[in-house]
A = this chain, B = another copy of it.
Amino acid sequence: MKSGLLQTPIGEGQDCLGEEMHRFASELYPICRSITGRGIRETLARIQQRIPLKLTEIPTGTPVFDWTVPREWNIRDAYIRNSTGQRVVDFQQHTLHVVNYSAPVHATLSLRELKPHLHSLPDRPDWIPYRTSYYKEDWGLCLSHNQLLALEDDNYEVCIDSSLEAGHLALGECFLPGNSSDEVLISCHACHPSLANDNLSGITVATALAASLLQCKLRYSYRFLFLPGTIGAISWLALNKDTAQRVRHGLVLTCLGDMGGFHYKKSRRGDAEIDRAAVHVLRHCGEPTEVLDFSPYGYDERQYCSPGFNLPVGCLMRSVWGTFPEYHTSADNLDFIHPAQLTRSLRLCQSIVDVLENNRVYLNRNPWCEPQLGKRGLYGSTGGESLDREINARLWVLNMSDGAHSLLYIAEKSGLPFSEVLSAAELLRDSGLLSEVPESS
């Protein structure tokens, strides 16, 4: 990939891009996703309309490391009807109303019998919580606390028209081949129902990132994974142990549409090139940012960074899961994510990719003293002025290019943004002052 290709300034065109990402999120929002079933399958189909996607279906019961692919869950309807026949809780109104992965039920219960199966948020009385019960067969409904308080003593018809049956777990892969078989892995979970930031923002940014790379001549091969959280990543890793060994850099993308600043959580290695690239790009992005050390909970970096794999995979977020009140509630809706934030998140991902694609090692071909930049028109003509920013970058690249230091190292050491270091290196290379050190195979 040519340097800077992705870094066109944010103008009108990019607002379009943010709007398009938000529109895509709106399209996916009503679908009731889960870790298996038609919801995620339909989501993958819509991603496939935008980028090439290979779908994989893994049968229920397949052993994947310590786990087993679970039954396929599908749901048609769910409600609570009072004795007058009115739907007081209605899955058709919001996918969060049903505890995700609920077993089917159809019964008439008193309010007292029903209550243990109802979930609400007393502190946020207007919001519906998001609850799941994947690995313990159970059923339940979620509702706003105000809805719960409004329930009178009555006999209620409760119905969850779901099925849990042998089927498949679906996941999608978009593979973009590059010069090298070494891979960059981009992973997002796609198993949350109507949750915009924690799910759809990652999916839409990853899709747009893949689309933008489709046209590029790439140094690395790129693999985008859209899969159910935890079990999906475990399944993919179990079936692709060899491919996983080719992952040289990786990012889990999620929560990228809210108003928060960027957070990058480092890989388990802590000093992998992806960690250094992400930290560098964050430092220069002009937004508030924070770098977090690795911890073994969070998203699918838990699996990629398990000790057997220990892949160099970090996690990029704006607000961090569990730290914003809207997290895992109906308030994480389409108003909570913003086109401009999605665009900036995409740009940041592209900047990280830019670093990875262009982070090479050069060799100064005139290592004994400085080469005479002036006679090549690469130095200011009149001495004595204050240091020019571009000349500064050239001197840094020349001084550090002893065959042992990458451009990213030079950017870190000099405090200059990678793009300026790269421009200087390309100019010096084109002037014959630098030669590229071949990558060790």
Q: Contact residues of A with B, CB < 8 Å?
A: 64-67, 129-136, 138, 230, 233-234, 237-238, 241, 268, 295-297, 302-303, 305-310, 322, 328, 364, 366-372, 374-375, 379, 381-384, 386-387, 391-392, 395-396, 398-402, 414
Contacts and interface: CB of A to CB of B under 8 A. Distances in A.
Contacts of A237: 368-369
B414 A295 contact: yes
Contact of A364 (B138, B307, B414): B307
Interface class of chain A by DSSP: loop
Of A233, A308, A309, most buried by chain B (CB within 10 Å of CB) is: A308
Contacts of A391: 297
9 contacts: A66-B372, A133-B381, A135-B374, A136-B382, A238-B368, A303-B369, A306-B399, A307-B364, A322-B386
Given A297-B395, A399-B296, A303 B381 contact: no
A238 B367 CA distance: 12
B268 A382 contact: no
B132 A383 contact: yes
Nearest to A398: B296
Contacts of A131: 382-384
Given A131-B384, A395-B296, A368 B402 contact: no
A368 B297 contact: no
Which A-B residue pairs are the 4 nearest by beta carbons? A308-B367, A296-B399, A308-B368, A307-B402
A303 B367 CA distance: 10
A108 B236 CA distance: 83
A395 to B, nearest CB: 4
B372 A307 contact: no
Contacts of A364: 307-308
A250 to B, nearest CB: 15
A369 B233 contact: yes
A366 B65 contact: yes
A131 B233 CA distance: 64
Contacts of A384: 129-132, 328
Given A135-B374, A384-B328, A369 B65 contact: yes
Nearest to A99: B382
Contact of A374 (B136, B295, B366, B396): B136
Contacts of A130: 384
A131 B297 CA distance: 59
Given A268-B399, A322-B387, A392-B297, A368 B309 contact: yes
Contact of A296 (B135, B368, B381, B396): B396
B268 A306 contact: no
A381 B193 CA distance: 20
Given A65-B369, A302-B370, A399 B307 contact: yes
Given A307-B364, A307-B399, 11 more contacts: A131-B382, A131-B383, A131-B384, A132-B382, A132-B383, A133-B383, A135-B381, A297-B392, A307-B400, A309-B368, A309-B369
Contacts of A65: 366, 368-369, 371
Contacts of A133: 381-383
A129 B384 CA distance: 9
Given A297-B387, A382-B132, A306 B370 contact: yes
A379 B132 CA distance: 14
Contact of A66 (B369, B402, B414): B369
A309 B399 CA distance: 11
Nearest to A296: B399
Nearest to A140: B382
B66 A371 contact: yes
A322 B392 CA distance: 14
Contacts of A135: 372, 374-375, 379, 381
